[in-house]
Amino acid sequence: MELCPELERYACDAPLTERLEGLLGDHPRIAGGGALTVRLDELLARTAGFRDDVVPGFRAYQRLRTSLVDAERGRLRLDDHRPRVMSAFVRNRLLDEVYLPLIGDSLAKQLGTADADRRTDSQGLLLLVSPPGYGKTTLMEYVADRLGMVLVKISGPNLGHDVTSLDPEQAPSATARQEVEKINFALEAGNNTLLYLDDIQHTSPELLQKFIPLCDATRRVEGVRDGEPRSYDLRGKRFAVCMAGNPYTESGEQFRIPDMLANRADVWNLGEVLSGREDVFALSFVENALTANPVLAPLAARSRDDLALLVRLAGGSDPAARAEHLEHPYSAAELDRILAVLRHLLTARDTVLAVNAAYIASAAQTDATRTEPPFRLQGSYRNMNKIAERIVPVMNDDELSAVIDDHYAGEAQTLTTGAEANLLKLAALRGTLTAEQAERWAAISGSYVRNQALGGPDDDPVTRAVAALGLLADRIAAVETAIQRAADPRHLLAGAQGAANGGAVSGGTVNDRPTPGRHAKITNAPH
């Protein structure tokens, strides 16, 4: 069949083959020396085959690969391991100046550094401890996001105390099995991974021992993946381990870390004040509460210097603080509202800090040495935010006190025991204890000490009798010590010297003030 017969035809002497030279690359059609031969007849046949066979096959491969990857992503739940920083996260001065440098130094031991002084023996463990509500998990989400790492979070309560192996088949429940599988997934992923074990006080010490080789220079750990035991060697890989927990449990018995693991860990307490950082720690409660209050929320996106100056203005103790030094152009009405809320917030912060210190001090004691019931109310960032969201500029001191009382009254209702004792202790911390409440607090404390010494009604009678005899022996020993001290010649000599200086040692009233180098003159009181 001839196309376009009306067109004039003529013989063409153009070459149908062309050779290209000087090409760079490793394509199969490029021969040695960088030469490529192109033939017109072969090109048309080859491109037709590419269009009819290769392109459809490649597209089918892409569809199959996408479906398999999506199925595997769903099985591994990869989206759950992407760090997500909370919108309310505040990078306060405490994080910038204290904790991020400390955490960075700890992670540098595990991940290595980019400079020439990089250590070749990656090792270590980051251990964060604090009462609940101080943002341990939020902080690690932020760190993993900034470092561009996969964050594999393991829930301690889901693991429980019964999980002692990294074999998912030995997990007692489906949730525990899932957490063990996530641990093995992190070990399998290896590079660019941050393994984060949260609430380790709910886990077994035997399970924590499995991570000891991972935290020393060997960087090896035994795991189980797809039913097969595997040995993971993480030397030279960008892999880090972080654990977090609350050591201040009611009895302290559930928080046990193997000694060999603790020796390899950098331990930092987010709930305690570091030496010399008291002001920054106190300011962090205000900084973290900004987003919780609608009046103060805009300050979270403004200059940090403005916030520091506003806090000084609200405190009223710095005469050098001037509103004209603020960087943002606040209106007079807006500035008045902000300062009013900040004044109430600083008052609430004092209570929260006192509660936090009392909680930590009480939790650190053993039951045998307590002189009052354990204090279990908490003063964390979370408590501060709950109080801050209820503060308004027109509130007076009595209304603020009522807000604090209502908050901790609700917190006390969630305690299993000791709600009344905890609220009385809170009133004592705030200086609002009435005479009737003080009497009740003294009675509760005395009853607690007595029950600790003699045992409660549920204790064994023999144990209670032995405890009573021990208490009686202690009292007799105290009387004996007092008698021996009174009969001591050195004590009598001191009394005689006091009498020679013009003072009698018998009971009386002081009618002359003591002067340096002399005893006070005491006369007998009339009977």
Helix (H, G, I), strand (E, B) or coil at 37: strand
192 and 309 both lie in a single domain: no
433 and 393 both lie in a single domain: yes
Instruction: Provide the domain limits for residue 251.
Output: 81-269
Flag whether pLDDT at 253 surpasses 50: no
- pLDDT score of 248: 73
Query: How does pLDDT run across 26-51, given as a tens digit for each residue?
Result: 888 888 778 888 888 888 888 888 99
310 and 251 both lie in a single domain: no
262 and 325 both lie in a single domain: no
Flag whether pLDDT at 520 surpasses 60: no
Of 441, 440, 344, nearest to 401 by C-alpha is 344
Taking residues 372-381, what's their average pLDDT? 90
147 and 37 both lie in a single domain: no
59 and 123 both lie in a single domain: no
Q: Please tell me the total count of domains within the chain.
A: 4
356 and 479 both lie in a single domain: no
Query: How does pLDDT run across 346-358, given as a tens digit for each residue?
Result: 999 999 999 999 9
Among residues 269, 302, 329, the one where a domain terminates is 269
Flag whether pLDDT at 179 surpasses 90: yes
> Is residue 3 assigned to a domain?
no
224 and 97 both lie in a single domain: yes
Would the pTM count as exceeding 0.75? no
* CB 383, CB 133: distance < 8 Å: yes
> Is residue 274 assigned to a domain?
no
> Is residue 8 assigned to a domain?
no
381 and 433 both lie in a single domain: yes
Taking residues 506-518, what's their average pLDDT? 40
Distance of CA 40 to the CA centre of its chain: 70
389 and 469 both lie in a single domain: no
> Is residue 504 assigned to a domain?
yes
Place of tokens 């204790």: 459
296 and 148 both lie in a single domain: no
Helix (H, G, I), strand (E, B) or coil at 227: coil
* CB 187, CB 227: distance < 8 Å: no
Taking residues 472-499, what's their average pLDDT? 71
Among residues 51, 75, 99, the one where a domain terminates is 75
Query: How does pLDDT run across 257-283, given as a tens digit for each residue?
Result: 888 888 889 988 888 877 778 889 999
121 and 182 both lie in a single domain: yes
Flag whether pLDDT at 438 surpasses 50: yes
Flag whether pLDDT at 452 surpasses 80: no
Q: List all residues 6 or more positions away from 363 whose beta carbon is below 8 Å from its beta carbon.
A: 131, 247, 248, 249, 250, 252, 374
Distance of CA 133 to the CA centre of its chain: 8
Query: How does pLDDT run across 79-133, given as a tens digit for each residue?
Result: 888 888 887 788 888 888 888 998 998 898 888 877 656 666 678 899 998 888 8
